[in-house]
Structures are given as structure tokens and as C-alpha cells.
Structure 1
Amino acid sequence: MWTRKILVAYDGSAPSRRALELAAQIAGADRSVELVLAHVMRLFSSGAAAAGIDAVIMDDAESVRAEMEAVAEMLPNPASVRLLRGTSPADLIVNCALEEGCDLIVMGSRGQGGVKGYLGSVSYAVTKESPVTVLIAKDGSRR
């Protein structure tokens, strides 16, 4: 198999669900291929005002974590779940892939806040910065 370990960046958006499907299809060819499902919890700042925002972000992240853990249990391949916390999602994704020894990153073309039809800023930054192969999944109709 040409890949041993795949990092899937997942945020619950349609493109990230498509990324998860593609990664599962690739890994399905060899049950020894490992998957790392990663969700970025983007932290903004500190202080009393940010504390409320961080609490909402944490609740959302825990919801996504639960979803990813359920998916990981259903996959025939070995799979783990990571919550990444920080201010630069692209750096967190690339660094996680390197730390985990991944040789492929699969992610959606845009995340929760993306503009339809364009490559998102995080996806673009990951493709620029990653020393490992990046596969960008697009949602939508297949032609």
C-alpha cells in the first residue's frame, strides 16, 4: 500500500465528511493502514469575554469528538481521535500529521465557515506547508 497512516481533518462540514469517506475508501484497501481523525479547536484569545466563547467552542469540539469516536469504532482499520487546540489550524494539522507519522492528509476543500466553490484558507495553507501529500475532498454532485 502506498500509504501507512492517514490524518483526516474533520469539522463536521460536508467537505470534511467527504474527506472521511475518501480516507476510509483508501484505507479499506489494506486493513493495516491507520487513520487519525483530527478536529481543530481554534482558540482566539484570553480574558473574561473569551472565556464564554471558549466554553461554546469546547462544547462544539466535544460534540465533534463524540461523532469522530463513533466513526472510529465502526471503521475496520485502526483509528484514533485527536482534538487539536491552538490559534493556527493549518499549523496544528500539519504538526499533528508529522507527530503521528502520517504520510497522507485528507481534508475538505473548505470548512464550516468556507465560501462554496473556493478552496478554504486552512486547506490552502495546509497544501502549501505540508511536507506530506494532501488530498482535498470536495462535496457536491459527482459528474
Structure 2
Amino acid sequence: MAYKILCPTDGSETARKAAAFAAALARMIPGATITVLTVITVPRSFAGRHFYWRVKEQPEALQKEFTALFREEAARVIEETAALLRAQGVTPETMIREGEPAEEIIKCAQEGGFNQIVIGARGFGMISLVLGNVAYKVVQLSPVPVTIVR
């Protein structure tokens, strides 16, 4: 059975460092695989301004437009991270999920049978893994070992 590494990303500097660490780890373990994950979520600053609820109240076309923007950003972040891994000799799988970041990371780790999670210590972003709090939650709830990269 292959060793499976889950590498959540939001495109931040620490997420890129975590991806580089995951690539180095995968190269040391014969047959290891990496899956890059990003989670689309409504940023708290938007939610605090009721942005999210305004979108929910808008016509369906506007909701689709905002959803498309979040998905576009998620795809950009995933591709950027995948390119970084490919440059280091690792061909990753990619995945985009929607929801609360820590919960989705944990669900993904459980459902995918991952052996380890490699995550950045802090992050940013519209699609956002705000990784100070997220990394902490992942460590607390994870069924598998978690490596936090600074």
C-alpha cells in the first residue's frame, strides 16, 4: 500500500514551504503519493460584512458568478502548488472541496486513507485556509500524523 500524503494549500508562503517539504518527504518514501487540497470557504472578513448573506439573497446568476470566482481562485492555487511539486519531481493529485477548512481537511484525510498531513503554519487567501487556527484544529482532530511547516 502506497504512503499517502495530504498537503492542504491556500497559496500562501507557508503553504508553499509545506508543499516543498511534502515533496522532499515523498521522494524519500518509495511509492509515496501527494494530494494537494484546497478548501473554498467564505472569508470571515466578508462574512463579517454580511457579504455572504447578501450573495445568498441575490438572484441565482449572481450567486453562480461569485461561486465561479472562488472556484477560479481555487484552481489557480491548486495549479500553482502542483507546478511547484512537479518542478521537484513529484506528480501530485489535486482536489478542491468546499466548507470549513479544518473539517474538510480531516474528512479528506479519513475518506482518502491518508497516512500523513503536511500543512503550513499560517496562511491567507480568498479561498482560504487561515492556517494559524486551521493548523491547530487539524492537529487536534486528525486521525493521522500532522507535520506543520513554518
Q: TM-score, normalised by structure 1?
A: 0.78
Contact 1:31 1:77 in 2 (8 A): no
Counterpart in 1 of 2:73? 60
SS in 1 for 2:28: coil
Counterpart in 2 of 1:26? 25
1:47 to 57, 61, 64: 57
Alignment of 1:1-143 (within 5 A): 4-43=3-42, 46-48=56-58, 51=63, 53-71=66-84, 73-74=86-87, 76-77=89-90, 79-86=92-99, 88-112=100-124, 120-138=132-150
Q: Distance in 2 between matches of 1:92 and 1:71?
A: 23
Q: Give the counterpart letter for 1:54 in structure 2.
A: T
**Cα deviation, residue 69, structure 1:** 3.9
CA pair 69-19 structure 1, distance change in 2 beyond 3 A: closer
CA pair 65-78 structure 1, distance change in 2 beyond 3 A: closer
After superposition, the C-alpha distances for 1:19-39 in whole angstroms (9 at most, x for unaligned) are: 001111111112400111101
Q: Distance in 1 between matches of 2:77 and 2:31?
A: 25
Contact 1:8 1:23 in 2 (8 A): yes
After superposition, the C-alpha distances for 1:69-90 in whole angstroms (9 at most, x for unaligned) are: 434544544521000111x110
Contact 2:4 2:114 in 1 (8 A): yes
Q: Which has the higher helix share?
A: 2
In structure 2, stretches of 5+ residues that fail to align are 43-51, 126-130
Q: Distance in 1 between matches of 2:66 and 2:133?
A: 22
Q: Give the counterpart letter for 2:3 in structure 1.
A: R
Q: Distance in 2 between matches of 1:74 and 1:36?
A: 15
Alignment coverage as a number of residue pairs: 130
Contact 1:15 1:110 in 2 (8 A): yes
Q: Distance in 1 between matches of 2:76 and 2:92?
A: 18
Instruction: Select the structure of larger CA radius of gyration.
Output: 2
Q: Distance in 2 between matches of 1:82 and 1:40?
A: 9
Q: TM-score, normalised by structure 2?
A: 0.75
